[in-house]
Structure formats: C-alpha cells, structure tokens
Structure 1
Amino acid sequence: VITAAAELAGTRYGADTQADIRLRVVGDHVRSALMLMTDGVTPGNEARGYVLRRLLRRSIRSMRLLGVNEPVLPELLPISKGLMEQSYPEVAGQWERVSQVAYGEEEAFRRTLAAGTQIFDLAAGQARSRQSGVLSGDQAFQLHDTYGFPIDLTLEMASEAGLTVDSDRFRMLMQEQKDRAKADARAKKGGTVNTEAYRSLRAAGETPFLGFTDLSVDSRVRGIVSDGTLVQVARPGDVVEVVLDETPFYAEAGGQDADHGVLTGSGLALDVLDVQRPIQGLVVHKVLVNEGELAAGARVLAQVDGPARFAACQAHTSTHIVNAALRQMLGQGTHQAGSYNKPGYLRFDFNATQGLSAAMRGELEGIVNTAIRDDFEVTDRELPLDEAKALGAQAMFGEKYGEVVRMVELAGPWSRELCGGTHVARTSQIGLVNLIGEQSVGSGIRRVEALVSNEAFERFAAERALVATLSDTLKTQPDQLTDRVEKLLAQLKAAEKQIEEFRNRELVRVAEEYARRAVVVNGFRLVLDRVKGATGADLRTLALAVRTELGAEASVVAIVNSSDDKSAIAVATNEAARTRGARAGRLVGVGAAELGGRGGGKDDFAQGGGPKSGPAVTEALNAVRDAVAAL
C-alpha cells in the first residue's frame, strides 16, 4: 500500500522524511480500516464507527497533503484486500459491502474538504496576519456548523499550520446552539419555555407511569397550568395542561408519539390532545375541557384510547425489527440515528454512506415481515446499564441513561435495545409492514419510512387495485405490465420527437413568411409581428429563425405572443444591428413596458412580458419600431 501510495503521489518512500510519515499513516490506516469494516463496523459518530471514520479521513487527507487530489481508496483498498484475504478469507466475502462503504465515505469527505479547506485557509491566514497563533472559536464553529467540518479535523489542520484553536469558545457556541434547539423544542411541545409552574408541581414527586399494564387509572389532579401559570380552575372551551398524581398516558419520548384519550369525572369530560415531559419526571397532559369545570384536586378517570395505543405499540416494535434487520444486512456497525412512530406509521434513521438499492429495500422488507411471521416474543426487563451493554443492547447515540435501564428484547438476542416505550407482546400482532420510502436526510444518514398493520394492508390493497386497473386499461397481464408501460413510454417519446420535428419545420416556414414581411426603418431591416399559442421556447426559436432568414444586413426582430390575460415579447438582433447600437436587452424593455411588465437579456437576444394584451401588443411593437428609428 505504501508503494502504491508513493506512486500515486509521484514520490519514493525514503526520499523525504515528512512524506514518509504520511505514507506510513496511509499504509497503516487503510489496512486497519479494511479490517474494521470487514468486522461489520460502519463509519459513524460514535465508538468504533468514529475511530473508523477518522482512520479513513486521515488516510485521504494524508494523500491530499502529498499532492493527490483524486479519489485514492479505489486504488489503495484493493491492494490491502489482496494481501489480507490470504490470511483472513472473510475479507473477500465482505468486500462488496466494504468497498461501497469506503468509497462512499471518501466521496462524502471530499465534498466536505472542498467546501471547508478554503474557509480554513482563509481563517488561518487572518490569524497569521494578526500575528496570532490562535484560530478563533467562532471560525471553528462556522466550519463545523456551515460546512460540516469536524472539529477534530480543524484541530489537526490547525496544529499542522502551527496554530491552536480556541476550543473553549467553540464549545460555548456549540452549547448555545444546543440550548436554542432545546428551547425551541420546549416551546413547541410545552407551549412555553417557563418551567417554574412545572417545577412547583414536580416538587410533589415524579408522575408514575402505569401505562405498561393499565390503560385506565383513577387519579387526582395535582395541578392545572395555563400559559405557564398555575390556575385553580379550567372551564369548558379552555385548553390547559393537567398534571395527575399518576397516569396511564405515554408521554412522547424515544420516537414514540404521545397517547390520546379522555379524562372523565363527575360532570367532567376532557379530551387529552397531547402528553409531554417538559421537565424530568413530570408528565403533563394537554387537554380540551368539553364539559364541567376542572378544579385542582379533583378525582378523574384517565382512559387511554386503547386501539390507538395498540397501533402505536405495533409501530414501535416495528422500528426495533427494522433496526435489527438493517444491522443484519449492513453490519453491526449500523446504528440508529433517530426514529418516529405513531399508529400505522414509522420512520427510522440510520448511519450509511449510500442509499439502499431496490433489491436491498426488498430484502429489508422481507426480513422485517419474516420476523413478524416468526411470532417472536417481545419481553422487557430492568437491569444495570453496564450489564445491558454487555449483552449487546443498542443505545441511542447521545441519549442519557440512568444506572438502571429498561431493555426490550425480541427473541432474546435477535434484537436488544434500551427503550422506555410500549410494545406488542409478540411480533405476529403487528401483522404487516410496507416499506414506502428510503432517502438521505443528512450527511451519512439515511431514512426508511414504512406503513404498519392496517395502513400497510390498505397501501398494498390500493397498489393491487391500481395494478388491476392499469392491466385492464392496457389489456395486458399484471406480470407483463412493466414491459407494456415501457413500450408505451418509448412510443410516446418517439411521438414527442416527431411532433417537435413537425413544430420546428412549421416554425421555419413561419420564419420565412415573417422575413418576407420585413420593412426598412432607419436603415435596419425590421420584423414586427405577433403569434398566438406559442410557448416561451417556441417564441425564442421563431425570433432566432427569423433573424437567420434576414441575413447579414442590420436586422431587428420583435415578436409578441399574446393571450387573453398576458403577453410575452422576444427581441433578436444580428451583429450588424448591434454594431449600429441596436441592443436586444434595451429594446425588449421598451416593448415590455407597454405590456405592463419588464424584460431583460443579452444584446443579441432578450425576452420579457406583462399582463396586458389586445391594443397593448400593437403599442409594444410600435415602441420597438420607434426606438429603432431613433438610433
């Protein structure tokens, strides 16, 4: 690998001490990255994935410092693979996946380098001009926030440039950004960022969640919050927040949507619209008072919408299955990067450098539905965090966990995740999952979306009905539908091409006719005319064709395409006309002004338009004629 890297860089190992260091970095890092990826690690922002990402990026950047700006991993990684597979046959078995991951990571990093390196060089130059050895935290934050430049790379490049980075300022700006995001989230979810009322109610103790076992709980109203202030009473029509001594309602968390349901009591009827945890340990119910006056201290019956909860459980367990299926397909280095699920729907984000092919999407959907049909038992238990991690339980990156955690398992080790959400008892209760989309949602992050249970069946049924309708309309069998549609599209494309040829021939014929109607004004051959029903492209083509027909003499063409409520004008001039001062951009502006609009373009061709038609078209053409006459 070192020899190949030296050849790419146009140097020889041993010729330069600094270059030798970089070549050794490349040789070591390429080999280490290959073995990590063979073991299933994927570039990411945590644990082994982060180590792998740094190995790959240091290799790529070392080659750039040696003067190689083209992709290097497609050249170097196969060499390492050829050497390592002799002792480790699994390298060959994993090669297709490993190479795709590595090449995708290099492409993404090259884009980051292209955007950020120039900004870094400028910032470093400014620091030197100030005779300062420190790169400001604001500039480091801009590189990270705007250009996706990782702070570790900024620190490394700064060190190579003989600079340090104001890391304290950088961390402060990062924390401010996180605080703003949290404040925005609280404002959206809690309706207010003032937590004083919540803390007052939290002082009486946490809100026990009984919803794992009970969907109906008799409870006492601990307090009522309206616009961030504690109130004693809520009346019909009021939308307020209610805190209960204990609740069966699941507060939105871990990607699972909040429960809905009702609170009832003596003369009371309230709809539960949303459930959140604005501060740790306190569950807040956003309610609409339909009947009666709700007072603090009142007894109510809290009832969760049972069918909606079951549907939410189906969707949440499905995200765990999707997670396990992706890890099975892409390797154990694949990690969750976010999720959201609600009755009938889920989305799941994961780290990946490339999208899933159609075949891979089909494979994913197959693994998920096989797990559903296999009727895995879904269990949960509480245990120390270290013990859960030792068992291989997946944790959400960046999430904070206590010393004791809840671990949800599907068929034991097949899927283990730290999770506080609600789930079905067995995977067969999900019924069906229909994968409906896969896309990028950020650098190195992909998202799959799916419908669950009844919604999944309804989607399949709708697609089946669509296939049946198309098959009937096109008089073909469902399994031949793709070929039939492809043939129709080919015929349509051929017909559109033929129509375009007919249109162009007609435009040439019209251009010849317009050119014969040219008049001489102030020594210019001038064509002033109008058309109807032409597209913008047709108008341009026609004006240029007329200009060609007029030949080399100084010529100006102005054509207006009008309809009942608007008009467009195109002006074309040839070289001889422009030499005498006829500029299409200025002339179109004169004409467009009479149409109630504006125009612009270059000296040889320009377009414009406005809302006026009818007599305004004649005035526009006359204005162009007068402008030409005045040259």
Structure 2
Amino acid sequence: MQTADIQRRWLEFFGTRGHTVVPSASLVSDDPTLLFTVAGMVPFVPYLTGVVPAPYPRATSVQKCIRTNDIDEVGKTPRHGTFFQMNGNFSFGDYFKEGAISYAWELLTASQSDGGLGFQEKDLWVTVYKDDDEAIALWKKIAGLPDDRIQRLDMDTNYWSTGQPGPAGPCSEIFFDRGPAYGVDGGPATDDDRYVEIWNLVFMQYLRGEGTGKNDFEILGELPNKNIDTGMGMERVAFLLQGVENMYEIDQVRPVLDAAAELSGRRYGADHDDDVRMRVIADHVRSGLMLMTDGVAPGNEGRGYILRRLLRRSIRAMRLLGVDAPTFEVLFAASRDAMSAAYPEITENYDRVSRLALGEEEAFLRTLAAGTTILDLAVSDAKSTGSAALPGDTVFQLHDTFGFPLDLTLEMAEEAGLTVDRGEFDRLMAEQRARAKADAKSKKGALADLSVYGEFRAAGETVFLGYDELETETRVLGLLVGGQSVPVAQAGDIAEVILAETTLYAESGGQDSDEGAIVGSGFDLEVLDVQKPVKGLISHTVQVRAGEVHVGDVARTQVDTQYRRAATQAHSATHVIHAALRQTLGGDAHQSGSYNKAGYMRLDFSWNQALSPATRSEIEEISNIAVRDNLPVETRVMALDEAKALGAMALFGEKYGDTVRVVDIGGPWSRELCAGTHVGTSAEIGVISLVSESSVGSTNRRVEALVGLDAFREFAAERALVQQLTSSLKTPKDQLADRIAELSAQLKAAEKTIAQFEAARLTERVPALVAAARPTGAYTVVAQNVGTLGSADDVRTLATTVRGRLGDSAAVVVLAAETAGKATVIIATTPAAREAGAKAGELARAASAILGGGGGGKDDLAQGGGPDAQRIPAALEAVLAALRG
C-alpha cells in the first residue's frame, strides 16, 4: 500500500465519521516556543488546552512534522526520521476513550477492500497506563484482546502532559509485532525493536499541578471537558504494510536512497556503514525538501541552522560514500518525484527549492575545502609537537564555526594516524548544549504563560477595526500586570490590556505595531506594543500615564495618525519593491521575509548574487514610476483557493486561514496575500529611496529602503552635503566626482612620497645606532630611545635593519620610541644571541612590565609597550639588567 493511499484512507475514514478534515499546517510552527511543528497535535494545542475555543467538535489531519532531537539515530534504527507525517484524530469535549479505541481498532483491522489498513489482530499489542482500568476494559470489550496482549506501563511512558501545569492524562499505545526474527518475545514492555509503536491514543482528562519530570507532579482533578488526541506514525505504518525493513525503504524515501547508491557506485545492503549513510541521505534530503517548500532557507540560526545542518550532513554522508562532486541536483529531484503525489506544492515551489539546495551545496563544498586546509594545518602542528591527538578546541572550532562535521574530522584524523581529544571536544559541546537547553527551557516556560489568555479568548475574538477607522469606543475585557490577571492597573504600571475592539494594528506580516493611546474616563494609557499572543486575541502593552484603569471600563483607542500614515506607506512600498524585483530579476526572486515600520522597510528575497549598481537603480526607478503612476490599491477578502487561482502571492512561512485578504497594487502587477495596512493609491507612498543591498546567506539577499518623508529627508541631507563639497572644493556639481578622484590620487602620491622620505630618514639613523652597540654580559647590545616615530612599524623596521648590520655576533637590539602618545619597545635578536640564551619575547615582557602594558613575541622578534612613555629609560635598563644576568 503506497503512503499516499494510507493518507487518503485515513482522511476518508475519519471524514465520513463526522471529523472536520484539517489540512496540514506548515512545518514552521505558530507556537513561539517551537522552531518547528514537532507533533500532529501542535496546531490543535490552543483547542486542547482551552485557550482558544475549538471551531469544531472533532477533527482529523495528516500533519507534516520535523524533529531533530534524535538526529544522531537517523539511519541506525528502522523508525527514526527527521521529517515524518503524523495522522491524527481529535475530539474536543465530544467522544472520549470508547470512541477513540473503537475508531483505532476498526481502521487498523478492517480489510483493505473495506477501506481499512488490513492489519491482523494477532499481530497487535496495546499498552495502557498502569492504573487505567477503564481503558483495559474497553480494549477487551471492543477488540477482544486477551490479558497477555495488554500491558500496564508506568507514568514515564504512558502518561501525557505538556510538562507544565495544565491538561494531562493517561495514554494507550498500539504496537505491531514483527515476529521472532526481529527480537525477543515479551511484548512492548521489553522495549525491543521487534515491537513497533504505530498509534498513540491520549486521553486528556485531568488537570496536573506543578512539578518536574514525567512523574512527580500532582493531579489536581478532572477537566470539565475531556479531549482526545491521537497520533499514528505514517512512515511506520507504511514500512509495515509495504513489507520493507524500515521507514527509509518506503515509496516516499527509497528513491533518494537508490539515487545515492547509484551516484556512489555502492550497493545498498552490502555494507552496514554505507547503508546507514544512504539512509541518512534519504531522510535528510527529504526533510530539507519539505522545510524549504514551507519557506525555510539555510542560515546560521534557528530554523535555518537546523536546515543547514541537515543538508551538510547529507553532503558529508555522500563524501563518506566516496562522492566529492555535487549531488543535490539528482537527489532532490528524486525526492520531489517521490513526494509530489502527497504534496503537490512541492512541484510548484521546486525551482526555488532547487536553487536554495544547489547554492547551499556549492557553499558547503567550499567550506569543506577551507576546513580541510585548517585541519591539515592542525595535523601538521600535532605531528611537529609529537602529539598523537588533535586538540579538542580545534575540532570544536571546525565543527562550530566552519560547520565541519565531527565524523569527517575523525575520518581524516585517522587517515593521518592521529586521534581526536574527544574529552575536550565533548566538554565544549556539553557547554554549548547546556546553553541551548537553558534557552529552550526559558522559551518553554512561555508556553504555560499563554494559558492566562484563555478566559479572554473564550469571550470571543478581538475585533480589528483599524482598516477603516483610527479611533473606536470599546470596553476593557481584561488587564494583566506581570503576567497575572488583575482587576485594576495604576499610574506607572506596565500592563497588558485586552479590549473587545481595537483600531491599533498588532505586529504581524512583517509590519510593526501601531503607536497610539487608549484613553477613558480617569485614565490615559500610552501604547508601547500590540501583539497577538494567541490566535484571534489582540493584547496591548501599555504604560499607565495617569489615573487608574479597571476591567469593564469604557475606553477609546487612538492610533497615532502620522505614524500610521508612514507605516502604511512603508508596507505598500514593500509590495511595490517586491514587484519591481520580480520584474527586473524574474519570478525566482521571491520574497522570503520582510519588516516595515513608519518610514522604513526591508525585504529579503531568494537570490544568490549581489545586485549591480545598474540593477539597483533599475529596481528603484521601476518602484518610483509605480508611485508616479498613481496605481489603484484595492483590498479584497476571499477564499484562499480563490486568491491562489487569481495568482495572489503568499509569503513563505506565513500562516493563512481559509479566508484571506488580497492586496492589489495596479491590479495583477502586484497581487499578494496580506493582512497589513496600506495606502489608497500608490502615489500616497511618496518617494522610495533604496539605501542598501546586502547578503543574508548564500541564497538570500536583502534590500532596505526609506519611504515617504524619511526618504525626502535623506535626499535633502545628501543635497546639503553636495552643496558643501561644491563650495569647499570650488567645483561644479557635475564635476565633483572627478575632482574628488583627482584629490584622492594626489593624496596617495603624497603619502607615498612621505613614506619614502620617512624610510630614508630611518635609514640615515642606522649607522649611529650600530656604532652605539656595547658589550653587555654575553651579548653585543644596542639599547636606545629613538624619540618619537610615526608608528610601531617604523620602530620595527629600524630594529631589524640594525640587527642585520651587526652580522654574526650575539647581538640584541632594543629600541624604544613614543608612538601615538604611547611607549613602544621592539627587541630583535641574532641567531648567535638566541643560541646564547636571549629570547626577545621574554625581554619584551620585562620592558612592558615597567611601561604599564603588555608584550611578547617569538625569540627572534618581539614587541612590547605601555601607556607611560616617561618610563622608557627604566624599561631599557630592565632589559639590560636581564641581559647581564
């Protein structure tokens, strides 16, 4: 049974049983505490926890997921995958345990001809929470399972919670027995790979209290509404129904594995290590394809870093298979062909995804070349010092800074006959993980804070009236101070205000929040920020400037008119520049992110090379022609499918509901899905000044622009600067560039002449310094204060020249000077002096200690100094004393 058929059967089964079929959410999670959608239930968390009222009593989905916690296990076990699909059915206060168990057993065991999955009942086991007698009784009643195929397990494996106070409950898991050829008898309790978990039923029925870990919290009581959250692993079911050994061999993954085998000339199944590498490649390429289809681009932090790591691990694995040449063109095409039946959007976005993948591969192959050079130097240094191991900090730097995989370092070190100091490397990695874990824990804590909005969201969505009005009368529904719900906020407090209606725009879609005020009888609130903490709810962060505000008070929202006008200009300018980019560069230049606020906008777009000055000017001119032409700006609300049919562009990574807002500028010239505020016609934007263009990764560029009055002010400042230069240089404006170039050339020539004079002057001083050499201890020493010189380089040149004139003697040259108001000491030694024991670095440190600074260097040449130039004589005497000793 093909994976796409399993998906179809799942959705049809639950759809015909009263479940709303919900399309998969993006892999980029709405939850601010998560980088990715890590489980099928993530999009439903607000409904399951009661923060947001569920829009339907029961639902089903096939959710795309990414997990990277077990990335090192990928390829080694039959079931660990980075990207996977979780089939889920959910009940929000509707059916409970009996319904969930009945649906699961029916779908699993019904024949394939009847729309089921056709599992044999004799191969299925279940586990339950040890005290859940109700679930055990239901399994016996519904499935007729005997006692020996129902196993009671502890809270750490069969009890679910978010890890925070809130909903919790027992769960029941369904396992498939692969048979004695795959492991020991004894059921899922053996924790053996023979028993594959395929479905988990979570019975969300209790409220848990504070606590840490999986089993040390208190159960406070039952929830008023009991929910069901289940998840069936698509890939696990697919490999069992397709009769293959693991998830990497199913129809959606195997083609990439086969392509890797063909490219490497190795046969899958012939060598264990090679098999693991091919499975890693198959998994990671598919994961990368799905992430990039959902708008993630390779980068150095957050989601981009995870994607980059997956891609680089794939390249590393291909190298370990003996392939150094680029392979992504073949591998990603294989994954596209395997996944498009289930996800047609892959084909629609493949040109962009392919360009990202190929660009990342090219960049990392260069990184590998650079890392190899650094590694070669480290190997050489280790061998020269007689060390048998590469330093752990060097290996960590290669891994952390250059993205050089540890496995590759180990392999290359072994080829050179060396090991790696894993103790130091592991210590540094542990410190890094501890920092990451602390950061993740702090973010996870924010999840619990969202529950405070539940009672406000239950009252309904906040109505946004700001598209048409800048002021409105409303009512205060709630107040939060310090994250806690309070009845009143007083002068000086920083508080969050929940209103029934608002005209203040909440930050979203790249547009910053409005500035303004909330006023009422006896209170005046300055708006500091406006956000959407949970779907459908708008929260205003304010400072109480005067009076007291109470829950229930009548209030009036007031948007800062000037700020809103400039913000709408900037947002509309973002759309205009995006259209100009695509008109100039082509359809591949697709927006990948944006930010705009009053007077300023930036836009990130997919492109892998810098824009020429001519191209930048063309984009700027097209944008301002659109402003001049006073194009109509029209906003319409319509169904998402209708908007896509019209060609409306969506921003990658943004989430859209069934109904969307479409913004047209000049009709189809610029047509995008957007919930931001916009001007009435393009002429209202004013002026667009493209001020910068830069790289934000190997496959993304960024343009920044000033808009409206801010752009005019920039032009005015530049005009004033040009006028000042024309006046100072007595040169007409149209000749200014040539005049500045002429002056620059003259200045360089003068600097060169001065440098020649300075060098000649220094050379003239050499004979006198050589003549000043005096025997000191076992050495011939020149120790002189040479006065004030231009730089430390001048002192160094003088010292090394004098050393050269002293021939084969055991000579030490110590020259001190004042440079840039500080003392500089340069010490140079001849080979004979070094053989006699003189070390320039030690002598430089002795002089620097007197001068109040620091110094050091090699035995032949060293530099020191300090802030106290008055102590140069004492510093010279300290060096002489050291030489006498």
When residues 145 and 547 of structure 1 are mapped into structure 2, their CA distance, relative to the original with a 3 A threshold, is: closer
Pair 1:404 & 2:659 matched: yes
Q: Which protein is richer in helix relative to its size?
A: 1
Q: Show CA shifts across 1:565-586 (max 9, x none).
A: 7422110011221122212112
Alpha-carbon offset, residue 267 of structure 1: 2.4
3-state secondary structure, aligned to 2:788: coil
Q: How far apart, in 1, do the equivalents of 2:441 and 2:740 lie? A: 50
In structure 2, which of residues 810, 830, 835 is the aligned counterpart of residue 579 of structure 1? 835
Q: How far apart, in 2, do the equivalents of 1:195 and 1:71 lie? A: 45
Q: How far apart, in 2, do the equivalents of 1:310 and 1:618 lie? A: 68
Q: Show CA shifts across 1:37-78 (max 9, x none).
A: xxxxxxx9338999xx999x99999999887769999xxxxx
Corresponding position of 1:228: 483
2:293 partner amino acid: E
Corresponding position of 1:430: 685
Corresponding position of 1:258: 513
Corresponding position of 1:162: none
Task: Give runs of aligned pairs for residues 174-573 of structure 1, distance below 5 A.
Answer: 194-534=449-789, 535-562=791-818, 566-573=822-829
Corresponding position of 1:29: none
Q: How far apart, in 2, do the equivalents of 1:590 and 1:117 lie? A: 39
**TM norm structure 1:** 0.74
Contact 2:774 2:780 in 1 (8 A): yes
Q: How far apart, in 2, do the equivalents of 1:295 and 1:237 lie? A: 15
Alpha-carbon offset, residue 305 of structure 1: 0.8
Which structure 2 segments of 5+ residues have no match? 1-257, 266-290, 298-307, 330-354, 375-396, 406-432
Corresponding position of 1:164: none
Contact 1:195 1:228 in 2 (8 A): no
3-state secondary structure, aligned to 1:286: strand
Q: Show CA shifts across 1:71-130 (max 9, x none).
A: 999xxxxxxxxxxxxxxxxxxxxxxxxxx99996764243355479999xxxxxxxxxxx
When residues 558 and 148 of structure 1 are mapped into structure 2, their CA distance, relative to the original with a 3 A threshold, is: closer
3-state secondary structure, aligned to 1:293: strand
Q: How far apart, in 1, do the equivalents of 2:610 and 2:593 lie? A: 17
In structure 2, which of residues 293, 304, 311 is the aligned counterpart of residue 46 of structure 1? 293
3-state secondary structure, aligned to 1:442: coil
3-state secondary structure, aligned to 2:841: helix
Q: How far apart, in 1, do the equivalents of 2:644 and 2:570 lie? A: 24
Task: Give runs of aligned pairs for residues 115-130 of structure 1, distance below 5 A.
Answer: none
1:538 partner amino acid: D
> How many residues are aligned here?
522
3-state secondary structure, aligned to 2:579: helix
3-state secondary structure, aligned to 2:465: coil
Which structure 1 segments of 5+ residues have no match? 1-16, 25-43, 74-99, 120-141, 151-173
When residues 544 and 177 of structure 1 are mapped into structure 2, their CA distance, relative to the original with a 3 A threshold, is: closer
Q: How far apart, in 2, do the equivalents of 1:379 and 1:183 lie? A: 43
Q: How far apart, in 1, do the equivalents of 2:827 and 2:586 lie? A: 61
Q: How far apart, in 1, do the equivalents of 2:615 and 2:821 lie? A: 51
3-state secondary structure, aligned to 1:572: strand
RMSD after superposition: 4.1
Structure with greater contact order relative to length (CA < 8 Å, sep ≥ 6): 1
When residues 475 and 220 of structure 1 are mapped into structure 2, their CA distance, relative to the original with a 3 A threshold, is: same
Contact 1:49 1:333 in 2 (8 A): no
Q: How far apart, in 2, do the equivalents of 1:527 and 1:275 lie? A: 72
Q: How far apart, in 1, do the equivalents of 2:609 and 2:369 lie? A: 20
Task: Give runs of aligned pairs for residues 609-628 of structure 1, distance below 5 A.
Answer: 609-614=865-870, 616-628=871-883
Contact 1:63 1:72 in 2 (8 A): no
Alpha-carbon offset, residue 623 of structure 1: 1.7
Alpha-carbon offset, residue 499 of structure 1: 0.8
Q: How far apart, in 2, do the equivalents of 1:215 and 1:559 lie? A: 74
Alpha-carbon offset, residue 272 of structure 1: 1.1
Contact 2:841 2:861 in 1 (8 A): yes
Contact 1:326 1:334 in 2 (8 A): yes
3-state secondary structure, aligned to 2:587: coil
Contact 1:22 1:63 in 2 (8 A): no
Q: Show CA shifts across 1:188-242 (max 9, x none).
A: xxxx971232222111111010001111100101111001001111111112111
Q: Show CA shifts across 1:271-316 (max 9, x none).
A: 1111111111111111111221111100011111112111100000
Contact 2:525 2:543 in 1 (8 A): yes
Contact 2:453 2:534 in 1 (8 A): yes
Q: How far apart, in 2, do the equivalents of 1:145 and 1:391 lie? A: 46
Q: How far apart, in 2, do the equivalents of 1:238 and 1:394 lie? A: 42
Corresponding position of 1:13: none
Q: Show CA shifts across 1:394-431 (max 9, x none).
A: 11212221111111111111111111100001001011
3-state secondary structure, aligned to 1:537: helix
2:812 partner amino acid: V
1:607 partner amino acid: Q
Alpha-carbon offset, residue 497 of structure 1: 0.8
Corresponding position of 1:136: none
1:289 partner amino acid: V
Q: How far apart, in 2, do the equivalents of 1:72 and 1:395 lie? A: 26
Alpha-carbon offset, residue 346 of structure 1: 0.4
1:307 partner amino acid: Q
Contact 2:509 2:654 in 1 (8 A): no
Q: Show CA shifts across 1:425-480 (max 9, x none).
A: 10010111001001112231111100000110111111122112112222222122
1:389 partner amino acid: K
Contact 1:60 1:106 in 2 (8 A): no
**TM norm structure 2:** 0.54
Q: How far apart, in 2, do the equivalents of 1:377 and 1:621 lie? A: 79
Q: How far apart, in 1, do the equivalents of 2:261 and 2:548 lie? A: 80
3-state secondary structure, aligned to 1:45: helix
- Range moving further from structure 2, 564-573 or 452-461: 564-573
Corresponding position of 2:382: none
When residues 184 and 60 of structure 1 are mapped into structure 2, their CA distance, relative to the original with a 3 A threshold, is: closer
Give the percent of matched residue pairs that are identical in Structure 1 and Structure 2: 49
Task: Give runs of aligned pairs for residues 45-194 of structure 1, distance below 5 A.
Answer: 45-46=292-293, 107-111=362-366, 114=369, 194=449
2:556 partner amino acid: L
3-state secondary structure, aligned to 2:502: coil
Contact 2:778 2:836 in 1 (8 A): no
Q: How far apart, in 1, do the equivalents of 2:443 and 2:296 lie? A: 30
3-state secondary structure, aligned to 2:569: helix
Alpha-carbon offset, residue 619 of structure 1: 2.1
Contact 1:584 1:603 in 2 (8 A): yes
Alpha-carbon offset, residue 590 of structure 1: 2.0
Alpha-carbon offset, residue 503 of structure 1: 0.8
When residues 363 and 354 of structure 1 are mapped into structure 2, their CA distance, relative to the original with a 3 A threshold, is: same
Contact 2:518 2:557 in 1 (8 A): yes
